[in-house]
Homo-oligomer: A and B are copies of this chain.
Amino acid sequence: MSVSVKDVAALAGVSVGTVSNVMNRPEKVSAVVAARVQSAIDDLGFVRNDAARQLRARRSKTIGMIVLDVRNPFFTDLARAAEDRAARDGLSIILGNSDEKAERESTYLDLFEEQRMHGVLISPFGDMTDRLHRLRERGIPAVLVDRTSTDDAFSSVSVDDVAGGNLAVDHLISQGRTSIAFVGGPLGIRQVVDRLEGARAAAAGHPEVSLEVIITGALSVIEGRAAGNAILARPAGDRPDAVFAANDLIAMGVLQALNMQGQLHVPRDIALIGYDDIDFASAAVVPLSSIRQPTALLGQTAVQILLEEAADPALAARQVVFQPELVVRESTFSPDRAAARPNLPESSLER
């Protein structure tokens, strides 16, 4: 039924050790023997049993990755970049979706530990510090993605979310907006907290600007829609004139709610800016201004660091922080208002 190295060895008339060498250190084997073994492999359709290989090697050739939401294009882009980088070293990535639930996150970590993964990339939701320490003791390094480590014990690769929040609100203010609502949540997610902090810092420098906070239950289109409807339900004088959404999914939900009733116009009545700059952002009802993160770079760097730590466990933890970038589209672009504080040339309007 199943063909093993033993069968290959028998057919090729060599020992199992040689078969292994043909596959793993070809330079140790003479060309003629290698050819004989190779054709035996082909004839029998031999496929190496990864479980046996891992058992002997004491670690897997797979990297486990946990993200907050696979349906968020930001994370799939991230995963894809990580996958490409890992493939260069012959490793594969398995992707787990925590769905912003600590329990699911924990289940994946259990799975990864059982599988003796080569390493773990995680965009943590709950506080997994203890779990990660334990994994490391077991020889499985972890790198935090899109999040700075709370205790500097682990390497992390992230984007400066405080700066991003700052960029977003600064931009809204420069467009003449003074009553700004931050929409996002839950506050258990570090990115949300940081972006809010950046927003607060930006608003703090302007006494005429007020910043209101609307907490959502998750970073999804649905939750954004609910928040948008809540805003819509308020009396006209009581509505913000700008919304900074914690990510693009929220922003799209808000946009949908505001726009659908046809009463309010974005950006005329309410300016809207999101975060992540996912593909869908530019395809929205009104092309969405957003904060772009260097996603591919983030993913590649995370894998790079993980591999280095896997090779040398004694390596010190590193914190890599990238800077986000403002992308202006129609959802915040109002020439009339901006004229008051012109700090964005029209040419920076991106499609």
- The interface of chain A, by Cβ under 8 A from chain B, is 1-2, 45, 47-52, 54-55, 58, 60, 70-71, 73, 76-77, 79-80, 92, 94-95, 97, 110-111, 113-116, 134, 138-139, 221-222, 225, 252-253, 255-256, 260, 279-280, 282-285, 287, 351
Give bound CA distance, A114 to B139, whole Å: 23
Q: Point out the residue from B50, B58, B111, B285 that lies within 8 Å of A114, measured CB to CB.
A: B50
Identify 9 residue pairs between A and B in the complex whose beta-carbon atoms are under 8 Å apart, listed by A's number: A2-B139, A47-B110, A49-B55, A50-B115, A51-B52, A51-B55, A71-B76, A71-B77, A221-B283
Q: Point out the residue from B1, B76, B94 that lies within 8 Å of A94, measured CB to CB.
A: B94
Contact A283 B111 (CB under 8 A): no
Contact B54 A80 (CB under 8 A): no
Known contacts A47-B110, A49-B116, A71-B73; 4 additional CB pairs below 8 A are A1-B139, A2-B139, A51-B54, A283-B285
> Which 8 pairs, one residue from A and one from B, show the smallest C-beta to C-beta distance?
A51-B54, A50-B114, A51-B55, A285-B285, A94-B94, A256-B283, A51-B51, A50-B115
Contact A97 B80 (CB under 8 A): yes
Give bound CA distance, A282 to B287, whole Å: 16
Chain B residues with Cβ under 8 A from A252's Cβ?
A: 280, 283
User: Closest Cβ of chain B: how far from A245's Cβ, in Å?
Assistant: 13
Residue of B nearest to A70 (CB): B76
A50 and B139 in contact, given A73-B71, A95-B95, A280-B280 (Cβ under 8 angstroms): no
Residue of B nearest to A257 (CB): B283
Most chain B Cβ neighbours within 10 Å, of A70, A77, A110, A111: A70
Chain B residues with Cβ under 8 A from A97's Cβ?
A: 80
Contact A47 B113 (CB under 8 A): yes
A2 and B70 in contact, given A92-B111, A95-B95, A253-B283 (Cβ under 8 angstroms): no
Chain B residues with Cβ under 8 A from A1's Cβ?
A: 138-139
Q: Point out the residue from B45, B52, B110, B260 that lies within 8 Å of A134, measured CB to CB.
A: B45
Chain B residues with Cβ under 8 A from A256's Cβ?
A: 282-283
Residue of B nearest to A220 (CB): B279
Give bound CA distance, A95 to B70, whole Å: 11
Chain B residues with Cβ under 8 A from A351's Cβ?
A: 260
Chain B residues with Cβ under 8 A from A92's Cβ?
A: 111
User: Closest Cβ of chain B: how far from A171's Cβ, in Å?
Assistant: 22
